[in-house]
Amino acid sequence: MRLVFLVLFLTFTLLAFTAGHILPGLSEGRSREQKVWVREGSSAMLPCPLSPRKTRGSSKQLPDKISVVWKRHGGSVHQEPHVVLEVGYSGLQKTALLMKPRVSLQDSALRNGNFSLRIDPVRSEDVGLYEAWVKYNTEVHSCHVELGVITVTFSPSNPVVENELLLMSCNSSHRASLVETCWFHKEHPGPTSRTFCSSPGALSILHPAMSDAGSWRCQLRYSDKEIISATYNLQVLGFDGPTNPVVYAAAGSAADLPCTLSYLPSAFGMNVVAAHWSHLAGGHLQDWDISQNLSSRSFPLHLPAVGLGDAGQYRCAVSVGHRTISRDVTLAVVTVTPSIQGPVSEGNRLLLICHLTHSQGHERFQWKHLDSAPTKSKLAVATPSNLEGHSSQMGPILEIPQVSQKDMGTWECSVYGPEGRLGAVEYDLQITGAQVSSAPSIFSGQVTFGLTLTLFLLLAVCVVALALQKRVSVHHPISVIFPVYPPLFDRSTPETAVKGPGDTVARGGMGLWQPAEGVMDTE
């Protein structure tokens, strides 16, 4: 009898001692199952954390002799399990041929009690129940994790090409009936955030744009109240910048039309075949071919000097693989037209009309007089106005009522939009016969006023003097003395020649009247 009690005592003592060395969080045998949902193509981490129990004088790390075996039951726990990954006491790893080299353990984490299994990338056939068996000394502990796979597909496959029909579908390995599918695009608050919910089926986007790129989350709701979701980053191969870019250039200046892809085609294993520009001008199609460059995603068109005939719409077409994507770019040309064609004289009324081709309706204009000193530049904001002979649609107008020397020089018309300054054009104003004076204009005005006042005073003095002289002549007659000269002609001689002083010459008996010497009074 004593022997029986002794055996029972030793048995319970041994059980209690062994239980003190079982790793906490897991009991011997089968542990509670965990479920992990992962999107196909991404990485999965099947958790199996084991922490050594704190004992007196022991380290937090486990001994070197640890063996780990991960097995998979397939789609059901009733299927025969097969080894996925095995790590022996010596550290030697064995991996199933079908999952090699997609599964791994972190060797450095084993002694810290982390035996989680990593699968990268996850495939749809990886679905099933996984169990881990960890042997530590004489103890065996286990983890059970069920792996579910969510499949998100795009047609055509990634990358999606701009303006091509896109179909997005989402499903999972869950066996219950699917009730609803929701798509969330850029869930953070903002104008680009969108949500689409529908019955089971694919989500279609007729003309995907660059704004459709980014994070999409698929959420599946099943009849058993299970809700599963997965996130996918959609890449759209298109063009950087706005959808319909407009380039503003002054007449006579150079212009560069942009054509930049959102990604390098080589990143998707594609090669750029060609980049082609075209422009329909005056009924004639102009073409430019841009050389192939696999290391670049930018194919701009450079125009050295643009004119009104160059304004309009251009198209850039880039061949990527077997597909071609294109973008339209508008060239708007800015010009200045003066109301006076030819020389401008001082005092003339001058209108400078800033004209913009292919206006988008949101532009505003600002005139600026460029002086030699930037700090003395004068600003004049011009707005469309109905002036004589001009209508508002002709463009912003700057009026100079009387042209003067201070208006000479360069005038600049700048075009502004919501994003800032878009472009500018300059006009050089020259005045006929104008002489640039170094004296300030205020002194010039003083000199002109002084000269005018002086001339007025001189004129007044002259008028007063003439009036006084006339008054004196009326009250005091003037005596005029005429001298008596000898006769120049002799009445007795029919014809005589001029002989000298005192001689006379007569023709046809005519004589010359000789005044008598004396005084003649005049009134």
DSSP structural state of residue 385? -
* 15-19, 180-184, 461-465: segment of lowest average pLDDT: 15-19
Token duo for residue 62: 């486990």
**pTM across the whole model:** 0.60
Q: Is the separation of the CB atoms in 241 and 256 below 8 Å?
A: no
433 — pLDDT class (breaks 50, 70, 90):
low
Q: What is the largest CA-CA distance in the chain?
A: 212
pLDDT at 138: 76
Higher-pLDDT residue of 213, 476: 213
Taking 3-state DSSP, the helix, strand and coil percentages for the chain, each rounded to the nearest 5, stand at 15, 40, 45
* 201-205, 221-225, 265-269: segment of lowest average pLDDT: 265-269
pLDDT at 64: 65
Which 3 state secondary structure label does DSSP give 501? coil
Angle among Cα 300, 270, 237 to the nearest 5 degrees reads 60
* 10-19, 388-397, 410-419: segment of lowest average pLDDT: 10-19
Section 114-134 average pLDDT: 92
Could you read off the pLDDT of 319-369 as tens digits, one per residue?
A: 887 888 899 999 999 999 999 988 899 999 999 999 999 999 899 999 999
Q: Is the separation of the CB atoms in 62 and 175 below 8 Å?
A: no
Q: Is the pLDDT reported for residue 203 higher than 70? A: yes
d(CA 212, CA 218): 15
Which residues have a Cβ under 8 Å from the Cβ of 454 and sit 6 or more positions away?
Answer: none
pLDDT at 54: 35
Section 437-460 average pLDDT: 63
DSSP structural state of residue 291? P
pLDDT at 350: 93
93 — pLDDT class (breaks 50, 70, 90):
confident
Could you read off the pLDDT of 66-82 as tens digits, one per residue?
A: 889 999 987 555 567 88
- Using a pLDDT cut of 90, give the percent of the chain over it: 36
Mean pLDDT over the full length of the chain: 75
pLDDT at 159: 76
Q: Is the pLDDT reported for residue 20 higher than 70? A: no
Section 194-218 average pLDDT: 85
Section 145-155 average pLDDT: 93
Neighbours of 57 (CB within 10 A): 4
312 — pLDDT class (breaks 50, 70, 90):
very high
Higher-pLDDT residue of 442, 139: 139
Token duo for residue 179: 């009730």
pLDDT at 15: 41
pLDDT at 170: 93
51 — pLDDT class (breaks 50, 70, 90):
low
- Using a pLDDT cut of 70, give the percent of the chain over it: 68
Reported as half-sphere exposure (CB side, CA atoms, 13 A), residue 271 has a value of 2
Q: How far is CA 327 from CA 12, 146, 162, 295, 298, in A?
A: 82, 48, 10, 21, 13
Which residues have a Cβ under 8 Å from the Cβ of 332 and sit 6 or more positions away?
Answer: 246, 247, 248, 249, 311, 356, 357, 358, 359, 360, 423
Q: Is the separation of the CB atoms in 260 and 298 below 8 Å?
A: yes
Q: Which of 91, 87, 90, 55 is nearest to 71 (CA)?
A: 87
pLDDT at 380: 53
* 214-228, 285-299, 477-491: segment of lowest average pLDDT: 477-491
Q: Is the separation of the CB atoms in 310 and 331 below 8 Å?
A: yes
pLDDT at 172: 94
145 — pLDDT class (breaks 50, 70, 90):
very high
Could you read off the pLDDT of 402-413 as tens digits, one per residue?
A: 999 888 999 999
